[in-house]
């Protein structure tokens, strides 16, 4: 079992495009995960902390930057995944039309 994207695709002429499609798919998934992690960290930050002896510390909330990171991460991840799918479709069409499986 191969764990990289588009593992069943093969190409004789467009190997670099297939490699690029795989790399873009991996980068797209990383961007999606990074956007979610940034949002979770932004939503969990901020608030008041008790320092003891009657002292408290208030830290600023990072909800706004966390939501912006979520939007950018998901948007860029989906765009990268869509572009890698288009590249993989081109490689698949090339393999289909140049194979000698008649």
50, 56 contact by CB (below 8 A): yes
DSSP 8-state secondary structure symbol assigned to residue 8: T
Specify the 3-state DSSP secondary structure of 6: coil
Distance CA 74, CA 77 (A): 5
pLDDT score of 77: 95
Question: Could you say which residues of the chain have pLDDT below 50?
Answer: none
Give the pLDDT of residue 1: 63
Whole-prediction pTM value?
0.79
DSSP E strands in 24-84: the ranges are: 47-52, 55-59
Supply the pLDDT for residue 101: 60
Cα–Cα distance measured from residue 21 to residue 19, given in angstroms and rounded to the nearest whole number:
5
Q: What is the pLDDT of residue 102?
A: 53
pLDDT of residue 16: 93
């Amino acid at each position: 079992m191969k764990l990289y994207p588009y593992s069943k695709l093969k190409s004789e002429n467009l190997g670099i495009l297939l490699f690029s499609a795989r790399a873009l798919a991996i980068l797209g998934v990383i961007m999606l995960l990074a956007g979610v992690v940034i949002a979770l960290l932004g939503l969990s930050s901020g608030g008041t902390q008790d320092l003891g002896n009657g002292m408290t510390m208030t830290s600023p909330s990072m909800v706004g930057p966390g939501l912006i990171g979520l939007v950018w991460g998901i948007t860029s991840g989906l765009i990268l995944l869509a572009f890698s799918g288009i590249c993989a479709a081109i490689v698949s069409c090339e393999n289909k039309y140049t194979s000698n499986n008649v």
